[in-house]
């Protein structure tokens, strides 16, 4: 049976991107190297409703790469993947790549 989580409202499900520990040329990066907290969007909710009940769709889509806030989101383990739920997708994510 396939496992799949489907976000509701304007929530998104993100798989964190683990930064490489060495460069393409084989140089090992030290632990103190600054790392961006980024992730790949794996599922997106339909959006939120405004005061007139009109649907406001989420601007993100599956496959987008986003910069995540340092704290926030709820950690979820689905099979072998470590994912995180993020509410209010429009305002919590700093950038889209």
DSSP result, 32-94:
TS----EEEEEEE---EE-TT--EE--S--TT-EEEPPSS-SEEEEETTEEEEEESSHHHH--
Query: Domain of 63?
Result: 12-16+36-96
Looking at per-residue pLDDT, the higher value among 81 and 49 belongs to 49
Q: What is the CATH number of the domain that holds 78?
A: 2.30.33.40
What is the arithmetic mean of pLDDT over 35-39?
A: 78
Highest mean pLDDT among 30-39, 56-65, 77-86: 56-65
Q: What is the reported pTM?
A: 0.74
The answer to whether residue 31 sits within a structural domain is no
The answer to whether residue 29 sits within a structural domain is no
For 1-35, the pLDDT digits (tens) are 346 788 888 888 888 888 777 788 888 877 776 66
Q: Are 62 and 89 in contact (CB under 8 A)?
A: no
The answer to whether residue 71 sits within a structural domain is yes
The answer to whether residue 1 sits within a structural domain is no
Number of domains the chain is built from: 1
CB atoms within 10 A of CB 1: 3
The answer to whether residue 3 sits within a structural domain is no
The answer to whether residue 62 sits within a structural domain is yes
């Amino acid at each position: 049976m396939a496992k799949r989580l489907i976000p509701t409202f304007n929530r998104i499900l993100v798989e964190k991107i683990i930064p490489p520990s060495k460069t393409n040329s084989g140089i090992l990066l030290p632990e103190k190297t600054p790392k961006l907290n980024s992730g790949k969007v794996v599922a997106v909710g339909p959006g939120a409703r405004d005061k007139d009940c009109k649907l406001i769709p989420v601007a993100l889509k599956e496959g987008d790469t986003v910069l995540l806030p340092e704290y926030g989101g709820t950690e979820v383990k689905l099979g072998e993947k470590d994912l995180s739920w993020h509410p209010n997708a429009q305002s919590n994510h700093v950038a889209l790549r």
